[in-house]
Amino acid sequence: MYDAVVPASRSLSFDPVVAAREVWASKGWEEAALGMATITSIMRAHQLFLAQANDALRPFDLTFARYEVLAWLAWNAECGSMSLSQIGELFQVTPATVTNAIDRLEADDLVRRLPHPDDARSTLAEITARGRRMVATATVELNAKVFETVRLTENEMEALLRLLVKVRVEAGDFSSATENGHVPTPVRARGGGARKS
């Protein structure tokens, strides 16, 4: 139930992950219990942070999903544009989800669609000047209200990141050749640079 999230207005009085782990143990699913607890914990942490991020972004009429697209277009994509299929690959979402997000961003004049210069079947999304201003302002808010409020020490966050990198590589998020912090080449809209010439 991770689509529509509400802020954690009321804490539970118990840890549902611990409760589920007890169930798994009692059923004899010992082999799976720790993995279940790990995955469920990741999902609950996700839910909490997503709710915080969406709250912080509400004044900008942005969701975290749309913010992520804007931020990537602004700062990582060459010439501020990427093909819709590249966006789907980057965020591991379906074409329909990308289309919906880009529709909304385009309606708000934060991105515009452009034909791909080298591929007639492909469409680029390019961030607008308004989109660049919006994502810069929204990031200041997100940093202050969410990213700077994680209550772990630097060492704890680095340890968490290392464990999650291992999980993510094994689960196929990215190839492990770059696992150890090598700075990657930004995702490029093939031929995107040519539009400027």
Restricting to residues 6-65, name those near a copy of itself by CB under 8 A: 6-8, 10-20, 22-23, 27, 29, 31-39, 41-53, 65
Helices 95-107/84-91 angle, 10° precision:
120
Q: Minimal distance in Å, beta carbon 193 to a copy of itself?
A: 18
DSSP element (H, E) containing 98: helix 95-107
Among 120, 121, 148, 197, binds a copy of itself (CB under 8 A): 148
* Given 107, 120, 121, 183, the residue binding a copy of itself (CB under 8 A): 183
Residue among 115 and 136 whose Cβ is closer to a copy of itself: 136
CA distance 195 to 197: 6
Q: Could you tell me the two tokens for 51?
A: 């709710």
Q: Does 138 bind a copy of itself (CB under 8 A)?
A: no
CB of 24 to a copy of itself, least distance (A): 8
Exposed / middle / buried, residue 157 (Cβ in 10 Å: 0-12, 13-18, 19+): exposed
27: left (phi over 0), alpha (psi -120 to 50) or beta: alpha
Give dist(CA 53, CA 64) in Å, integer.
6
182 binds a copy of itself (CB under 8 A): yes
Q: Which stretch binds a copy of itself (CB under 8 A): 103-111, 116-124, 174-182, 188-196?
A: 174-182
Q: Which of 59, 115, 186, 193 binds a copy of itself (CB under 8 A)?
A: 186
What is the closest distance, in whole angstroms, from the C-beta atom of residue 194 to a copy of itself in the complex? 22
Q: Using CA atoms, how far apart are residues 4 and 148, in angstroms rounded to an integer?
A: 24
Taking CB under 8 A as the criterion, the residue among 61, 103, 118, 158 binding a copy of itself is 158
